[in-house]
Amino acid sequence: MKKKTVHIISHSHWDREWYLPLERHKMKLLDLIDTNMELFDKDPGFYSFHLDGQTIVLDDYLEIRPEKREELLRHVREGHFRVGPFYILQDEFLTSGEANVRNIQTGIREAKAYGNLTKVGYFPDAFGNAGQMPQLLTQAGMEAVAFGRGVKPVGFNNELKEGGEYESAYSEMQWQSPDGTKLLGILFANWYCNGMEIPVDEKEAKAYWEERLAKAEMFASTDELLFMNGCDHQPVQKDLSAAIETARRLYPDIEFVHSNFEDYVKKVQAEAGEKLSTVKGELTSQETDGWYTLVNTCSSHVTLKRQNRRNEVALERVSEPLAVFAAENGKEYPHDRFNYAWKILMQNHPHDSICGCSVDQVNKEIEVRFDRSTEIAHTLSEDASAYVADLTDTSVFEKYGENAVPFVVFNTTGDERTGKVTVVLDAKRDYNKWLWDGRRDMKAWELPEYVVVDSEGNVQKATVEDADVKFGYDLPDDKFRQPYMARQVKVSLFAEKLPALGYRTYALVPAEAAGTAVKGSNIASDDRHLENEFLKVAINDDGTLNVLDKQTGKTYEGLGYFEDTLDAGNEYIYFCSKGNPAIVTKGTKAEIKLVENTDFAASVEVTNVLTVPVSADDQLKEEQEGLVEFMKRTCGRSSETTQIVLHTTVTLEKDSRSVRFVTEFDNTAKDHRIRVVAPTGISCTHHYADSVFEVVNRPNEHSKLWENPCKCEHQQSFVGLNDEKGGMLIANIGLYEYEILPEEKNALAVTILRSVGELGDWGVFPTELSQQLRHITAEYEMTFFAGDLVESNSFRSAYQFQVPYTVAQTKVHAGTLPAEKSWLTWEGERMMFSNLKEKAEGTDRMARFVNCSGEPTVLRIKKDASFETLYFSNILEEEVRPETANADGWYEIPVRGFEIVTVGMR
C-alpha cells in the first residue's frame, strides 16, 4: 500500500516592502539568505528553500553583499535555492498585460542567469488572479501554478470552514483560461503557512500533526500533502531536520520529505488523474461573503495608480514602438535602458506596493520610482521621435519661407486615429546672445499669423496661440550644452486618420503663404449645448450631461454626478457604517462656463461643490486603535464640514463618439470616498470590463453568498455595457475600481478618490498619506456605440484614450523617410493590439495582439520591405512556427477565442 507523502517546502513569503519600509526588510533578507546558506552547508537533511517565486530578492541581497555572489550562485545551481519564475510577485489586476509579460520574461531570464529556474507560477498572496494567467504561464513553459486566493475562500486569509459552496472539490484543480488553456493549479487551502514552526518535541509535534494532517487531507486530491514551512518574512526554521525526524518516528506509515515544488507537482500530476475540477477564468473569490476580496486596493492611493498607468503607457505604448521606428532606420534599439526602466517600474508592482496597502514611507518611495521610470521612458521617446523626425523629408515646406516650422505627429497605437493634438512649438530660437538679450529680442520679434499645413499643402483645422518666451537648451552629442530663448506658440491641431503605428508630417507656416482652412460649424452653440456628427450633448443645471446618440437614437440622462460617502475602512477595504447617507451633486447648482469653441473641439468647465464632513468622528480613531474589525465599526462623520470644489472640463471633438472629462480638485477631507456616477438606463444582466489581455463579461449582480454592501470590481482600461438599443463605456487613466449599480438604471460608478487613515490587516499602522490630502486629477471618457461592445470593436477607442500623441519638432531639410508612414499594417476583427518592440535578444520586431472575444478570428499582417520572414512566437519571444505569406502579400494567422498572439518579424 502506498504511503501518504508529506511534502514540506521551506520558504518565506517576502513582501519587499509593506508594514516596514524597503530598507528595513532588506536587513532581514540578509539574515534569511545567510542562515539558509549556512544550513545548506552544515545540515545534510536541509535540502532546499523556495525564494518566494521572485528573483529580485537575489538582486537585493547581492547589492549589499556582492562578495557572496559565487557562494549564492553555487547554491542556486545545486538546487538549494529555488528561484523564479517572476522578477517580483505582482498584483495581476493592477498591472497591465505587458507588465505581467515583462515580469515573467525578466524573472525567467534572471533565474536562468543565476543558474536554475522553478517552472511553477507562484501567487501566494495576490489579491485575486487574472483569467488569462494559465495561458501566459503555459506559453512561458510553466508546469503548474500555486496561489493563495480566489477559489473557495470563506474567511480571512483562506481559513476554510466546513460546508458552503466551493468552486473546486480539492485544493488541486485545473485552472482554465478563456482560450481553453489548462494548467494544474495548487491552492494553499490552509494558507501558505500551514507547515510553519514544526515542533521537535514529540508531545507538541503529535498535537501539531494531528491537527495539520486532518486539515490538509480534508482538501487534498491525492496522497501527496503540501505543507508550507514559513510565512510572511518568516526566518528559516533551523531545526527543521530534527522536526522532520520526530514526525517520521511518530508516523512511520507516512513519508515526510523536505521537498520542493517541482517534485511535489510531478507527484500530484501522476496521481490526480481525471478527478480534478476545472475552474475557469479570473479567480476573485466571488463565491464568498465578499468582505475580504481586497478589491478596494484598486482605489487606495489613487495618485499612485494614475502614475502607474501613465508609466506603463509611456513604456509599452509609446517609447517602445517609437524605438522600433528609429531602429528600422539605423538607430540602435536601447535594450539596456528599457530593461532598466522596466525594472524600476516593476519594483512598484508587488501586491502590497501597487495596491497601496503599505506604510507611508513605502508609498513615498513608490512615487519616486514612478517618476524615475517615467523620465527614462520620456527620454527614450524624445530621442527616438527626434531621430525619425530628422530623417523625414520636410523639404516640401521650404516654399513657405524661413518661418516654416515642421513637426511630426506620431500615432503609436495599433489603430488609425483621429483627434485633437495639442503641442507647444518653438516658432523661433535665439542661441547667439546672452540669455537676457535673447529674451528681449524674442519678446520683440513680431509673431507671424500662423496656420498648419500638411505635406500636400492642405491647410488643417487648427488654432495657434502665442505662448510667450521660454528658456530651453539642447544637449548635443558632440559639444557642450546649448542654451537658448524661444518664442513659443501653442498649437491645437485636428489630426484626421493618422496611420496606425506611424506618423504624419505637418508644418506651422505663415498664413499669408498658405491660405486658411475651410471653416465648419462650431461644436458648441452655447455653454450648455455641444454637438458633432455622432453626439448631441446638453449640460444640466447640476453639471450632469444628457447625451443623444444620433446613430441609435438613444438618450442617456443625468450622466456624471459625484457621490461622496464615509470610508471607515482601511487601505485594503472600503466600509461605510450604517446611518451615513451619501452626499451627491445631483440636483445641486453647478457653475458652467464655455472655455473653448472651434469647429473641431469645444470644452465646457463645470464646477461642482461638495460640502462634506472634514473627517469621520472621533469614534473611528478609537475603533482603529482598539482593532475593531472594520465591518463592525459604528462610527459616524464629523459635524465640521469643508467644501471640495470639483472642476470638470467636458470636451467634445469632431468625428468622435466620446465625451472626454478631466476632473480636478483639492481634497480637503479625510475618511471618505468620491465616485463619478453615470446612470446608463441600459437593460442588461451582464457587463464588460477590461482586464489583463481580456475583455471580461461579468454579471451585474453578485453571488447569493455575497454580504458586503460594496460590490466593486477591477478594471484596466474601461467598463461598459449594452443592450439592443445601444451601449456605453467609460474609459479611464489609472482609475481601476468601478461598481455597477443595478438599482440606479445600471449606473456605472467609477471611484476617483478613496481617503483612509490606516493600513489595516494585522495591527495598528496609521497612514496619513493614504488620506490623499492633495491635488487630485481624474481623467475619463464616456463612449457611446451601437451593437455589442466587443463585436463592434468599440473597445478600441478606450485603449487609445490612454495613449498620448507624440510630437517631434524638426527643421526644413531633405530626408530618407516620406512625409507619412506606418510601420505595421494589420487587420483582425475583435483583435486588440498590445505592443511593438524589439526581441529581448536580437533585432527581430515583436508584435503582440489578443482576441478580445470568444469567437475565432484571423489576424492578417501585411508583408513589407522592413522584414523578410514572419513567425508565430510565445510570450518569451521564442519562435514556435514559421508563417507563410499569401500571394497577395498578407500573412493570415488563425486565432482562437481569447488567444494571446505574439509574432516575430525577422
Sheet holding 254-258, edge to edge: 224-229, 4-10, 254-258
Residue 416 burial by Cβ neighbours in a 10 Å radius (0-12, 13-18, 19+): middle
Collapsing DSSP states into helix, strand and coil, what is residue 107?
A: helix
CA-based torsion, 791, 793, 790, 845: positive or negative: positive
Per DSSP, what are the bridge partners of residue 175?
A: 183, 279
Cβ neighbours for 281, distance < 8 A, ≥ 6 positions apart: 131, 176, 177, 178, 696
The residue assigned the cell 526566518 is 235
Cβ neighbours for 172, distance < 8 A, ≥ 6 positions apart: 184, 185, 186, 187, 220, 221, 222, 268, 272, 276
The 3-state secondary structure of 721-747, one letter per residue: EEECCEEEEEEECCCCEEEEEHHHCCE
Residues, the chain: 906
CA distance 790 to 781: 17
* 8 Å CB contact between 848 and 432: no
User: Is residue 368 within a helix (H) or strand (E), and if so which, with residue range?
Assistant: helix 360-391
CA distance 541 to 518: 34
Annotated active-site residue in 52, 60, 125, 567? 125
The 3-state secondary structure of 110-168, one letter per residue: HHHHHCCCCCEEEECCCCCECCCHHHHHHHCCCCEEEECCCCCCCCHHHCCCCCCCCCC
Collapsing DSSP states into helix, strand and coil, what is residue 665?
A: strand
DSSP state of 519: P
* 8 Å CB contact between 741 and 724: no
Residue 516 burial by Cβ neighbours in a 10 Å radius (0-12, 13-18, 19+): exposed
What values do phi and psi take at 465, rounded to 5?
Answer: -125, 145
Instruction: For residue 729, count other CB atoms closer than 10 A to its CB.
Output: 27
CA distance 653 to 531: 9
The residue assigned the cell 488609425 is 416
* 8 Å CB contact between 567 and 754: yes
CA distance 524 to 532: 9
String of b and e for 111-146 (b: at least 16 CB within 10 Å)? beebbbbbbbbbbbbbbbbbbbbbbbbbbbebbbbb
* 8 Å CB contact between 205 and 227: no
What values do phi and psi take at 374, rounded to 5?
Answer: -65, -35
* 8 Å CB contact between 305 and 94: yes
Nearest to 749 by CA among 764, 737, 758, 760: 737
CA distance 337 to 152: 43
Question: Please, what is the angle between helix 69-77 and helix 97-114, to 10°?
Answer: 100
Instruction: For residue 622, count other CB atoms closer than 10 A to its CB.
Output: 12
The CA–CA distances, whole Å, from 624 to 460, 764, 768 equal 60, 7, 13
468 annotated active-site: no
* 8 Å CB contact between 515 and 449: no
User: Is residue 697 within a helix (H) or strand (E), and if so which, with residue range?
Assistant: strand 694-699
Instruction: For residue 497, count other CB atoms closer than 10 A to its CB.
Output: 11
Known catalytic residues are 125
